[in-house]
């Protein structure tokens, strides 16, 4: 196995594996150990469930895209990979956070009540 492929598997592949675990086993109750933890997401149980579901779905999709893109870079482009796989990981996490925060703002008030 090439070094580039190992690099992609240990960065993008690990993120994809973690996203599957978070998706299959979401946190049930608000806690400070496991889950999508922002002040808004921890306001009440309804927001907590919504935020974790939204984040886990987004992370699953974007980490899969990141993993596939990293594999394509490693297998077909024949270039030395340095920052590219980590950039995909970073972008996957950032996009998932932004999408989750936008969904929270669209669906809940600042006081934690569901918008109509």
pLDDT recorded at residue 45: 96
Domain of 100, in residue numbers: 3-28+45-107
Residue 101: inside a domain: yes
Does any domain span residue 114?
no
pLDDT, tens only, 3-30: 888 899 999 999 999 999 999 999 999 9
Residue 112 lies in a domain: no
DSSP the chain: --HHHHHHIIIIIHHHHHHHHHHHS--SS--SSSS---TTTTSSHHHHHHHHHHHHHHHHHHHHHHHHHHHHHHHHS----SSHHHHHHHHHHHHHHHHHHHHHHHHB-TTSPBP-
Residue 91 in domain: yes
In a domain, 55, yes or no: yes
Number of domains in the chain: 1
Is it the case that residue 50 has pLDDT exceeding 80?
yes
Residue 115, in any domain of the structure: no
Specify if 37 maps to a domain: no
- pLDDT value at 116 more than 90: no
pLDDT band at 1 (very low <50, low <70, confident <90, very high): low
Question: Is residue 66's pLDDT more than 90?
Answer: yes
Predicted confidence (pLDDT) at residue 90 exceeds the cutoff of 70: yes
44-52: average pLDDT: 97
């Amino acid at each position: 196995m090439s070094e580039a492929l190992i690099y992609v598997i240990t960065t993008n592949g690990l993120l994809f594996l973690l996203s599957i675990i978070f998706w299959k086993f979401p946190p049930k109750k608000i806690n400070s150990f496991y889950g999508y933890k922002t002040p808004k997401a921890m306001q009440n149980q309804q927001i907590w469930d919504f935020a974790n579901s939204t984040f886990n779905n987004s992370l699953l999709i974007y980490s899969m895209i990141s993993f596939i893109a990293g594999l394509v870079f490693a297998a077909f482009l024949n270039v030395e990979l340095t920052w590219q796989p980590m950039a995909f990981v970073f972008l996957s996490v950032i996009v998932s956070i932004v999408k989750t925060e936008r969904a929270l703002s669209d669906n809940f008030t600042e006081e934690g009540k569901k918008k109509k």
